[in-house]
Amino acid sequence: MTFEELGQSLHDITFVVVDLETTGGSASKGAMITEVGAVKVRGGEVLAEFQTLVNPQSQVPAFITGLTGITNEMVCEAPTIDGVIPAFLEFAHGCVLVAHNAPFDIGFLKHFAQDRWPSFEVIDTARLARQLVSRDEAPNCKLATLAALFDAATSPSHRALADARATVDVLHALIGRVGNQGVHTLEELKVFSSRVSPTVRRKRHLAEQLPHAPGVYLFKDASDRVLYVGTSRDLRKRVRSYFTSSEKRSRIGEMVSLAERVDAVVCASPLEASVREIRLIAAHTPPYNRRSRYPNKVHWLKITKEAWPRLSVVRSILDDDADYFGPFTKRSQADKCLEALHDTFRIRQCKDRFGQQPDRNPCILSELGRCLSPCNASTTHAEYAAEVERLRVSLRASPAPLINRAQERMSLLAKETRYEEAAIQRDRLSAFVRFSARSQRLSALTSCPELVAAHKGETGHWTVHVIRYGRLVAAGVMPPTRPSQDFVNELCNSSETVIPGPGPTLMASPEESELIARWLAEPGVRMVRTNGAWVCPVDGAGRWSAEYDAIEHSKHLVAGF
């Protein structure tokens, strides 16, 4: 493996171990630095030291003087922090910072450095010690306690340089302990967790054959069964993290312990990787994946094809010339939309089949004025057909009449302090708007015979994607010396053929088509060419979707308190 694949060896890294003395606990609340001490080490050898008192430009509190021995007289001639920061940054340039309780010390330095602070790698010996030192060995992970445990050559004394020297010895002792557990690089040290067993950590070799490229990875057990499918922009880096970092999901930890092999599918782009992930999860239904396992279990709203049409929730699309709208991934979503439509449009809700001239007794909905009541000939075919057409237009192009009427109804209920009923109306309307916007967005994509789009990747090369009826059928990276039209033509000619089904039948899972639709809207994506129209209605539900997405988000926030 290359040096980059192995990571940065801890033996070869130059660390700058830093400690501060301050006048208080928070720089943002006015506390100042009174002393900076740092030790530069590499491979167990001390290379240089940095120490200076700092003039806090205010009185040193008496209790700080009692704790550290630093007096006002000692710091009155010292440089201010504005003069110390540049010198420290030069001393630490290109190194990895180490501190005991790093958020405190590094937080103070970043506060005073402001825009001058570079992007340092930081190791916190206190956090690392909590992973490696048991309560039987030490009652706590304070610096003085750890220095005594590891027989540090310098005892901490609440002076910056002495404490930094003690932290150096603690750091070396902790690195020795993680080394015994197979951790030898900075990358592994940063994500180290004692909750990862040595058995699991030793499985890092499963990632060694994987490339640094976007794609999909498949964890498999000894019998070659797919346990888990995931995607990443960097396959090797992502898979290695399963064996070195703390995985909070217990089921994933269990999966890793069962894994005996990791296969990978290299992809031309992150979009292709995400699409392949969805398809592979659907094909293998891995036991440790929770989402996307049954992507084709969807529902549709149907305007039936009969003398007196009605709305129905169905599981599949038939070649019956009826109108279908969707898809819904949950039946509950379809039911809410159905209720919102029935609240606005007076079409029948009964499931009976009527002839041209029905003669029946009307139901309660007719008496309430919520149905045109074709069952007892209270309406004409023309009047009923006009109502159905308004419903169809609302679903296809412009839901404004439904939204306006529902909002008026909510306002009226709220004025009458009927808040629970108003909330029900709000939830129905929210479900309808969000569904309708998604449906119109997907319908625009899935009805387009071919769409070619490109995006310049992180490498600077263009990735070209061919999409047919909402399905990704090809993706490729364009060679910089290749004529673009020749490459696009060749990619299209070698793409998967897609034959559309009846009505709005999806040629891919809803999740895949939605993923593609979101990608097409990202900055930097350029349309190469289209075959057919890719359009959304100007007065469509997308005009209201942001508002009702915010409502749904606020509901979840409130529920979390």
- Enzyme catalytic residues: 158
CA quadruple 99, 100, 103, 105: dihedral sign: negative
Q: What is the DSSP code (8-state) at residue 98? A: E
> What is the DSSP secondary-structure string of 222-281?
TT--EEEEEEESSHHHHHHHTTTS----HHHHHHHHH--EEEEEE-SSHHHHHHHHHHHH
Measured CA distances, 247 to 136, 243, 251, 254 (Å): 25, 9, 9, 10
Q: What is the DSSP code (8-state) at residue 9? A: B
Contacts of 317 (CB under 8 A, 6+ apart): 300, 324, 501, 502, 503, 504, 505
- Cα 188 from Cα 73, distance rounded (Å): 46
φ, ψ (nearest 5 deg) of residue 442: -70, -40
According to DSSP, the residues that pair with 301 across neighbouring strands are 313, 325
**Rounded-to-10 torsion of CA 330, 331, 336, 342:** 140
Query: How many CA atoms does the CB half-sphere of 556 hold within 13 Å?
Result: 6
Tokens of 404: 């306006």
Element housing 36 (H / E): strand 33-42
